[in-house]
Amino acid sequence: MKTKDMSYSEAIRDAISLKMHEDEDVFMLGEDIGVYGGAFGVSRGLIEEFGPKRIRNTPISESGIAGAAVGSALTGMRPILELQFSDFITIATDQIINQAAKIRYMYGGKGKVPMVLRTPSGSGTGAAAQHSQSLEVWMAHIPGLKVVQPSSSYDAKGLLISAIEDDNPVIFYEHKLLYGMKEPVPEELYRIPLGKAAIKREGTDVTVIATSIMVHKALEAAKQLEREGIEIEVIDPRTLVPLDEETIIASVSKTSRVVIVHEAVKRAGFGAEIASVIVESDAFDFLDAPIERLGGKAVPIPYNPELEKHAVPQVSDIINAVKRTLQRGEEV
């Protein structure tokens, strides 16, 4: 495949463009996604490419946007809706949880809702308490929804194409700090299956399971730990629902130690679900130390840059957790 350096946002835009050229039923709707190009510029240029009928600006009504997407999906379209910030998913929860997620079940499979809800999430941009949350675990709890969290340009493009082609509603979380990150990405259309994790780095001492922006922090921690002779394996689930339990179990069985890290609040975060998968599997018998979990502190994300940084896990926190689990393993 011929590749091109693409930022995370460019890879997402490329996936949308390719699918819209391929399938006339695919269209976008959301606030300011036309000439303005969306809150983070992801849809920039698409209205010139496809026109206002397929790149549809909407009023400021997240519930209305989601409802229109559900209705159009039921009639055979494949809508991609953009919410400007993932915090605003709270306004659209009835349409997402009681309609999109349930209709296929309620209609005995005769109705389907093939829609993708794209939304920027996470902290690090000084957007403060109401525009910086990581609420993905809410959606992961709902039967009928699929939840995707790509950490790289390559993954974002391949996963979004698969999400658009899926006949179920997919919530597609895009961390704001990833938008500018670049890497080589195939120019042509390709797919990454939903439910397949990626081993971002192989190692033998500790498994670090990280999501979204935390994958990059885990990889940086791995570089620093390597200088001390510690080799960590970094697993990126990529999709929370469906979750690739097999890859997680295999890695933990190999290393016998695990650290789980996500930006969302630690309490009741998705890391607890991953930990449950491990302890309920054969991997539990291989553990040489208790599972370590890292997550955001139970506070609203602050506006102050230093406080914002301390509210979520950093590279140093991952390094300390890895060393802690190695030390506890020796004690056992």
pLDDT digits (tens, 9 = 90+) for 255-279: 999 999 999 999 999 999 999 999 9
For residue 29, the cross-strand partners are: 56, 81
Q: For the segment 151-205, what is each residue's pLDDT rounded down to a tens digit?
A: 999 999 999 999 999 999 999 999 999 999 999 999 999 999 999 999 999 999 9
Distances (CA, A) of 103 to 74, 100, 240: 9, 6, 21
Q: Give the pLDDT of residue 1.
A: 82
Helix axes 245-255, 270-279, angle to 10 degrees: 70
3-class secondary structure, 241: strand
Q: For the segment 36-91, what is each residue's pLDDT rounded down to a tens digit?
A: 999 999 999 999 999 999 999 999 999 999 999 999 999 999 999 999 999 999 99
Catalytic residue among 62, 82, 174, 292: 62
Identity of the amino acid at 30: G
Q: If residue 105 lies in a helix (H) or strand (E), which one and from where to where?
A: helix 103-106
Question: Which tokens sit at 101?
Answer: 């997620």
Q: Where in the chain is the domain with CATH 3.40.50.920?
A: 198-331
pLDDT class for 13, splitting at 50, 70, 90? very high
- pLDDT beyond 80 at 330: no
Q: What is the dotted CATH code of the domain comprising 3-186?
A: 3.40.50.970
Q: Give the pLDDT of residue 331.
A: 62
Model confidence, pTM: 0.96
- pLDDT beyond 90 at 133: yes
Q: Give the pLDDT of residue 85.
A: 94
DSSP for residue 318:
H
Q: Give the pLDDT of residue 186.
A: 98
Q: Are 211 and 151 in contact (CB under 8 A)?
A: yes
- pLDDT beyond 60 at 332: no
Rounded Cα–Cα distance for residues 149 and 26 (Å): 21
Q: For the chain, give the mean pLDDT.
A: 97
Whether 131 is a known active-site residue: answer: yes
| Span 110-114, average pLDDT | 95
- pLDDT beyond 90 at 328: no
Q: Give the pLDDT of residue 329.
A: 61
Catalytic residue among 10, 31, 82, 131: 131
pLDDT class for 141, splitting at 50, 70, 90? very high
DSSP for residue 291:
P
Question: Which tokens sit at 213?
Answer: 């922006």
Instruction: Give the fold, CATH level 3, of 198-331.
Output: Rossmann fold (3.40.50)
Q: Where in the chain is the domain with CATH 3.40.50.970?
A: 3-186
Q: Give the pLDDT of residue 219.
A: 99
Q: Give the pLDDT of residue 290.
A: 96
Rounded Cα–Cα distance for residues 199 and 4 (Å): 22
Q: What are phi and psi of 209, to 5 degrees?
A: -100, 115
